[in-house]
Structure 1
Amino acid sequence: MATQPHPNTPGMIVTCAVVTVSDTRSPTTDKSGQLIQQLLLSANHVVGEYKLIKDEPAQIQAQIEILAQYTIFDAIIFNGGTGIAPRDTTYDAIEKLLEKTLPGFGELFRWLSYQEIGSRAIASRAVAGVYQNKLIFSLPGSTNAVKLGMEKLILPELVHLVTQIR
């Protein structure tokens, strides 16, 4: 791995909200939401909120608006609803609110996904950006996709990105 141009602040703890977007999952069957929480906690970050909401654009945007008002949250991590099926509206809802986008997140996520699942990676609409000084990440709902996005992209850059926003 290349040397990082801006080293992370040692011991910095990031407080995150985790939101699963699904019409079918419940808190007990939400393996991806549980995995995000476990990975954040294992990295010594804080999960300040966990929500499971329906794949409805108004609900997704309302959740962002509500969570963005809380100063304790540095980041909001969504999973689910990033494909192209008619009920997959997470990307559309989030993208409209982002004040700044991180195009490299989606690009790298799809590139890494391609290495694991081949050309089906093109259907992913993973996205990240900033809204009201909060990092917003949106991952597909599959547990493998969540693991990939968290371990390869979000966790390695979370502290750095939050530091940049502050």
Structure 2
Amino acid sequence: MTTATILTISDTRTLDNDKSGQTIATALATAEISVSQRLVVPDDIVAIQSAFLKEEQTDPDIIITNGGTGIARRDVTFDALEPLLPVTIPGFGEQFRQISFEEIGTHALASRALAGFNVREQLCFVLPGSTSACQTALQQLILPELHHLLFERRK
């Protein structure tokens, strides 16, 4: 069975009120992907990297983060995680922004969503904190393609 970890990056959310993290967990469970862990960490580069590196050691197939992918000063998720993904999948971010543009217009330009593989060959998705954006990414990109991406990388 495919396993996943969900990491929410937010200064204001907890596990109890993390609607995006719960949305991701529900969508994964519906797709028969086991969620082994859900965490919330603050918008802090060291805290994000520390939690991410700790979670990758639990050996999930997929790590999905949400939150902190915009361009505000506190949005440091991209800066924290991009260096930890030596193999990126540029088409994910490009397509996500295109789909988002169709939904929300030019505000999509501020998204720094990305995907790639870390050094442990785990598939990682770095998503915005918006519940709607997470639903879009999951339904239109992640769930339709994740098994193919894992298969290709594991050849």
Band the TM-score falls in, shorter-chain normalisation = over 0.9
Aligned to 2:95: 108
Aligned to 1:34: 22
TM-score w.r.t. length of structure 2: 0.96
TM-score w.r.t. length of structure 1: 0.89
Aligned to 1:119: 106
Matched, 1:51 2:39: yes
**Which of the numbers 59, 69, 76 marks the counterpart of 2:63?**
76
* 1:165 positional shift: 2.6
CA RMSD of aligned residues (A): 0.9
Give the 3-state SS of the residue equivalent to 1:59 in structure 2.
helix
* 1:160 positional shift: 1.1
Aligned to 2:6: 18
Instruction: Output one character per residue of 1:2-60: Cα deviation in whole Å (capped at 9) or x when no partner.
Output: xxxxxxxxxxx310000100000111111000000000000111001110110111111
State whether residues 86 and 117 of structure 2, in contact with CA within 8 Å, keep that contact through their aligned partners in structure 1. yes
Instruction: Output one character per residue of 1:71-91: Cα deviation in whole Å (capped at 9) or x when no partner.
Output: 3x0010000000011100001
Letter in 1 for 2:67: G
Aligned pair count? Answer: 153
Aligned to 1:91: 78
Aligned to 1:62: 50
Deviating above 6 A after TM superposition, structure 1's stretches of 4 or more consecutive aligned residues are none
Identity of aligned residues (%): 48
Give the 3-state SS of the residue equivalent to 1:159 in structure 2.
helix
Give the 3-state SS of the residue equivalent to 2:17 in structure 1.
coil
Provide structure 2 residue ranges, at least 5 long, that are not aligned to the other structure.
Answer: none
Distance in 1 separating the partners of 2:39 and 2:76: 17
Distance in 2 separating the partners of 1:65 and 1:164: 23
Distance in 2 separating the partners of 1:83 and 1:133: 26
State whether residues 7 and 52 of structure 2, in contact with CA within 8 Å, keep that contact through their aligned partners in structure 1. no
Matched, 1:152 2:140: yes
* 1:151 positional shift: 0.5
Give the 3-state SS of the residue equivalent to 1:28 in structure 2.
coil
* 1:70 positional shift: 2.3
Provide structure 1 residue ranges, at least 5 long, that are not aligned to the other structure.
Answer: 1-12
Letter in 1 for 2:48: I
Aligned to 1:139: 127
Distance in 2 separating the partners of 1:75 and 1:57: 21
